[in-house]
Structure 1
Amino acid sequence: MRTIRLVSALRVFLSLLLVQSPWQSSPAVVDAAGGGTWEVVVENAGIASMHTAVTHYGNVVLLDRTNIGPSQLPLPKGVCRNNLLDRVSTHDCTAHSAVYTPGTNNIRPLFIFTDTWCSSGQFRADGTLVQTGGDADGNSKIRTFSPCSSSGSCNWVETKTPLQLGRWYATNQQLPDGTEIVVGGRSAFTVEFVPADGRGQYNLPLLTATNDAQNDNYYPFVHLLPNNLLYIFANRDSILYNWQTHTTVSNFPTIPGEPRNYPSAGSSVMLPLTASSGWTYAEILICGGSQFGAYLNPSRQLPASQTCGRILPLATNPAWVMENMPIRRNMGDMILLPTRQVLIINGAENGSQGWGFATNAVLNPVLYNPGFAAGTRFQTLTATTIPRVYHSTANLLADGRILVAGSNTHQFYTFTQPFPTELRIEAFSPPYLSVGARPAIATAPAALGYNKGFTVKVTFAGVLNGVIELNLLSAPFVTHSYAQGQRLLQLAVSAPGKVSGGKYTIKSTSPPSATIAPASYYMLFAVANGIPSVAAWVHIS
């Protein structure tokens, strides 16, 4: 037995060595004595945002289900939703989607017709938000939202072309060819593409194999790897998937511990891709979840998972490396920060997803530093006073704050304790926003092709230690504890040339291909001494 364990440990060690790690140079970490700060930016948004996405105009799309009865946000005068297929209210003059503008904190109602309950989405290359599926009359719908400035009147469009299969609890991922793959859903064990471009549905055996009595394979985790294959995780298992040939390339070891997907509700990120590794190093992080049986027996309120696992899907012998979080958590949102850290926020310590199926809300966010030694990576931050459990979201804003919205643990809008429907919107400022001077981007290109040299001018009043990082972050579609399409790219940078008065010129090169950076709008952050600038939006295509 001892020999077997030594061989297993050696294989894990070798698999880590065979892929060059980019974490030898960890992000600079600022003094987090205060642990970040919270602010309620909207007292009553009128809707509880189940799905949230930040557009390249900097404003934010909020979206709830429509099949829920009246919200507290009225539609414009004379505009009503008359839908005879609605199960609750066939005549509804309230909004179930809105645009929120950071800074002014204005809320503009949007009109959406079919039910978007537990649907999926992704931005395409031109910045249009494509939103797919849902429940009831929305099950096969494809909707689009072409963003505009906060003074504009853009709204949802329900397209005439349906999905090939109704999808509820599916996941979308933008692909290098400009289309989106839509993966799984309730009783949907296939993938399809939007637009289909002549392609049909393709069976995904992983989804059939992981369809246990608790259905822990909804909202599968999907990540586009730098070799143009997809890493797909469902329940406790994962595969390498070739989306062009529609084949499973390989199967990975089962992650130890609990189920991780809906309704067990862990979360996942692909850690930053880096130019320093030649864009070849990819590592997946999955944290949290619920015990099997928590959803089937909600009265037991079983303790949530306390573990995270990391795996190198492109290593010769991939294996899970496990570690413990400081707080048990399910329904936590994992957000990549411009400092290359991971924020874990929202969720509960007991139970699972579902109407009233969780208790003991986790009020403290946790900061995870991927480059630190095991046992030192987690830092517990300042608690909020607002529980965010089932149907809550968290999104990175261009100013570096995290927008936190939603939480409706009831089937309808219900304002009773302990977890009322939450209409307040908060902004969490991570510790890096409270420690001295921030860099500022003076000039940056608005658009870039692939593998193109470019220059960014940055001002920074502090004493610079090392280089100024340039990091690109995508704008994901966040729902049910998973940020679909989330991606961070650390670019190569020259030693900053200083002009005078804290002005720096940094030379860099854009990502090499759409496999590394699918065409879309990205937030470009300059990071000096572990402190990020306000982002400039850059269109990569």
Structure 2
Amino acid sequence: MTVLLGVNLPPALGYVSRWRHERLVNSLPYMQAHGRWDVVTVPPTDRVNAIHAALLPTGKVLLIAGSGNKEDLFATKALKSLLYDPRDGSSRMIPVPDDMFCGGQTLLPDGRLLVAGGTARYEKLDGAVTHAAGAMRVKNEDPDVARPVPAGTEFVSPAGLRYRSTRDALVPPAAKITTSTGATVTASEVTVFVEAVAPGPGSVNPDREQYAIAGLPPDLSRDLYGLGAPMTLDKQDYQGTDKAYTFDPVTETWTRVGDMAFARWYPTLTPMVDGQVLATSGLDGVGEVLNGQTEIFDPATNTWTERKDLTRYFPTYPGIFTTARSDEMFYTGTTAGYGPADQGRVPGLWDLADNTLSPVPGLRDPDLLETAGATWVGPVQDQRMAVIGGGGIGESPRSTARIDVVDLDDPAPRFTPGPDLPAPTRYPNIVTLPDDSVLISNGSRDYRGKGASDHLHARLYHPAPDGGSLTEAAAPEVGRNYHTEGLLLPDGRVLTAGSDPLFDDENNTVPGTFEQRLEIYSPPYLFRGPRPEITAAPDEVERGATALVATPAPERVERARLLRLATSTHVTSVDQRSVALDVRPARRGVAVDVPTAPETVPSGFYMLVLVDDRGVPSEGRILRVAGDEAGRTD
């Protein structure tokens, strides 16, 4: 009997414990205080490795995988995205035309999703490189003719070593300046990646040399040639692409737009107050972090323009946000992935008028900003931003529980401590809710969840001028770390997706499995009785205008918010914001005043939400805010 009890009692106690836990977390008082998580399993045929997520104006969510960090899918061009409708749980696979894995994305003012950059080549680790390779700067000294350099062009070193380019390139004409005393010609150049024709160490060239292009006649060889970096068998990083596409949420189709001026992998696309989009950072076409080259996308022409006046170095996926001043951005210091420890790591206000960056001091753990998150806290009019969690550069085991807040309206802004997370956290999912609280969920203590370090907890951050406070939220069931994202849905719930652990066990011996389940969080306000209703509202409002919103109990409405439809990837969501609206009673509803300043409410699609005197929000009504800006396409 003792043996039988010893064998059977622990499982029985475990069952009772789980039963009691399930009963607790599904009780109404618990959900009213902490909310609830529900796991969503999509059909096996519709599962993707969600790398990017975007809420579309139709209310559907687009989850983009591309190759999904799977080199075999990259090789076969089995590139995927999933369109998921949270209203009924339906889903549909949509192929993507290029590998958007680790590109940048944001919604344009007309509702299209812009995706730029992605993967042109997967990394090759030390020991896996069989052909010496490196960067080749192709120079053109002819001021009259652009020179094509097709993939497969051979470059020959003085010693006869041969290397082939891997992708097509076009070298512009040289720059020619004519003066009264003559003319000055400055060679143009593009950089391409080249690989040795012959495998093995015999093709290693440690020197920087001038290379001839095979097959060119002597007169052309004088004008067109290569300047090669050292050609080695060292690790080769991912390489970016310059391709860009838009996704139409109505037709649910992709369209190619103009190519970027630079290839980018891990770039940030920040929507500007005039409707254009700022592209910063990323790995270029040879796997190196771009040296500060910045460019602007104009949705009216679907073209990109390099902004040499805004050249500024940032590590990859920098957290760059617009502020209340049209010519100023705020760089939070948060990044993901690549860049040295001593360059581009200091948070600051970036003045676009003169390209200066004024550091913002006071941040705790300033060396633990990689894989951190950043967001506006409270309405954007408050100009308070928080930096949350983060870790050391690269595969560092170090992480921080920091939540630090800065008031950008302060004449001398500096970070001040807020409440700490319950544990040091990389990769926190951060989503602003319509009641002005912020959901912080998931993440891991170590790099990519090493050592089974995923956090199965969540907190609700309540912003305030004194730094704010945290309350406990229900615990998610699914662990999430690298390649994870979170989005606010129109019904007030939060969708989380993705996770790409390095290992699946505590001892780091079993290769990781990409998490394809979705999980949806229902905040406490969804369990506190009837919600306010929006029975009628305009589909479009102008900045500076007043909109009439029909609601059955206008006397209960206390606040109104516009929440911008957001995108999310790599713990980066620079287009997420909440805008406070002045609200007052009106016939059969309320009148809401839309702010005049585009710096506060840039044109685009938002969810209009009414919040009652209990802090319970209505469902979001998706509408477009319009105004006069350069990027408008209609």
Q: What range is the shorter-chain TM-score in? A: 0.7 to 0.9
Per the alignment, residue 427 of structure 1 pairs with: 520
Contact 2:459 2:470 in 1 (8 A): yes
Deviation track 1:40-96 (CA, whole Å, cap 9, x = no partner) reads 233444102110001010001010132655xxxxxxxxxxxxxxxx8655445x551
Cα distance between partner residues in 2 of 1:291 and 1:178: 35
Contact 2:102 2:265 in 1 (8 A): yes
**Match runs of 1:123-522 below 5 Å:** 123-136=107-120, 139-148=241-250, 154-159=252-257, 161-186=258-283, 187-188=289-290, 189-195=292-298, 199-202=305-308, 207=313, 217-228=315-326, 229-234=328-333, 236-243=345-352, 245=353, 247-248=355-356, 250-253=358-361, 255-259=363-367, 261=369, 264-273=370-379, 279=381, 281-292=382-393, 295-297=394-396, 301-302=397-398, 304-323=399-418, 324-349=420-445, 351-353=446-448, 357=450, 359-371=452-464, 374=467, 377-410=469-502, 420-460=513-553, 464=556, 467-494=557-584, 496=585, 505-522=589-606
Query: Secondary structure of the residue that 2:313 maps to in structure 1?
Result: helix
The structure number with the bigger radius of gyration is 2
Distance 1:517 1:386, change over 3 A: same
Distance 1:123 1:246, change over 3 A: farther
Shift of 1:206: 5.7
Q: Which is bigger in relative contact order (C-alpha 8 A, separation at least 6)? A: 1
Contact 1:134 1:167 in 2 (8 A): yes
Per the alignment, residue 57 of structure 1 pairs with: 58
TM-score, length basis structure 2: 0.66
Deviates more, 1:391-400 or 1:508-517: 508-517
Contact 1:42 1:105 in 2 (8 A): no
Per the alignment, residue 116 of structure 1 pairs with: 100
Shift of 1:447: 0.5
TM-score, length basis structure 1: 0.77
Contact 2:39 2:477 in 1 (8 A): no
Cα distance between partner residues in 1 of 2:536 and 2:600: 24
Contact 1:95 1:109 in 2 (8 A): no
Distance 1:314 1:358, change over 3 A: farther
Cα distance between partner residues in 1 of 2:435 and 2:572: 20
Cα distance between partner residues in 2 of 1:249 and 1:480: 24
Query: Secondary structure of the residue that 1:491 maps to in structure 2?
Result: strand
**Match runs of 1:93-104 below 5 Å:** 94-104=78-88
Equivalent AA in structure 2 for residue 145 of structure 1: F
Shift of 1:452: 0.5
Deviation track 1:186-224 (CA, whole Å, cap 9, x = no partner) reads 31223211138674233767636xxxxxxxx32111111
1:531 aligns with 2:627: no
Cα distance between partner residues in 2 of 1:481 and 1:409: 15
Cα distance between partner residues in 1 of 2:602 and 2:75: 40
Equivalent AA in structure 1 for residue 572 of structure 2: Y
RMSD: 2.8
Contact 1:59 1:100 in 2 (8 A): yes
Query: Secondary structure of the residue that 2:59 maps to in structure 1?
Result: coil
Distance 1:89 1:309, change over 3 A: closer
Shift of 1:314: 3.1
Distance 1:536 1:340, change over 3 A: same
Per the alignment, residue 625 of structure 2 pairs with: 540
Query: Secondary structure of the residue that 2:274 maps to in structure 1?
Result: coil
Query: Secondary structure of the residue that 1:432 maps to in structure 2?
Result: helix
Distance 1:108 1:357, change over 3 A: same
Contact 1:395 1:402 in 2 (8 A): yes
